[in-house]
Amino acid sequence: MEVRDAVDSDAEALAAVANAPTVAMRRLVRDRTVRVATSDAGADPNTDAPASEEQIHGFVGFDVEDGMVHITRLAGTDTAVARLLEEPLRFASTEELPVEALLVESESDLREAVEEAGFERVGDGPRFDGSETIRYRFGKSA
């Protein structure tokens, strides 16, 4: 699995992963730091067939505000999400900042992934599109 910066042309694939509108994903790519987890099976060296297209397995969007790294969007396969969480954590470690994530309460797979990455539940978050959220934090408080 490779991780790279997202580009505008990834918006449609990100929308499919997140079950969200393409325009929202394009805005995310333009307004935040977004990293994508990809795989490219490549060409079979035993044939003359061309390489297959890259597939996006997940993404993480994050930014910095008020002395804290905020994970603003996270989606993908379990393996991709676990790998992608390393990106904002690495950035935060370098900058000596805490990290916060707000996750919809019903997203149990994502909640499990952030807990396995070392995030601690610190309370309830705001309602998002009518859904309850949970606030998670990694590192010292801001």
41, 52 in Cβ contact below 8 A? yes
What CATH number does the domain located at 2-38+51-138 have?
3.40.630.30
Question: For residue 45, what pLDDT band results from cuts at 50, 70 and 90?
Answer: very low
Looking from the CA of 54 toward its CB, the CA atoms found within 13 Å total 14
What value does the mean pLDDT take over residues 33-57? 68
SS3 8: helix
pLDDT at position 54? 83
Distance CA 51, CA 53 (A): 7
Does 142 score more than 90 pLDDT? no
The residues spanned by each domain of the chain are 2-38+51-138
For the record, the structure tokens of 110 come out as: 């994502």
pLDDT at position 129? 83
What value does the mean pLDDT take over residues 126-137? 92
> pLDDT tens for residues 46-69?
444 334 578 999 999 999 999 999
Among 90, 110, 97, 29, smallest CA distance to 64 is for: 97
**Alpha-helical segments (H) within 1-142:** 11-18, 22-31, 78-95, 108-116
Q: Dihedral sign, CA of 107, 111, 117, 122?
A: positive
What value does the mean pLDDT take over residues 8-16? 95
pLDDT at position 14? 96
> pLDDT tens for residues 72-116?
999 999 999 999 999 999 999 999 999 999 999 999 999 999 999
- The model's pTM is 0.86
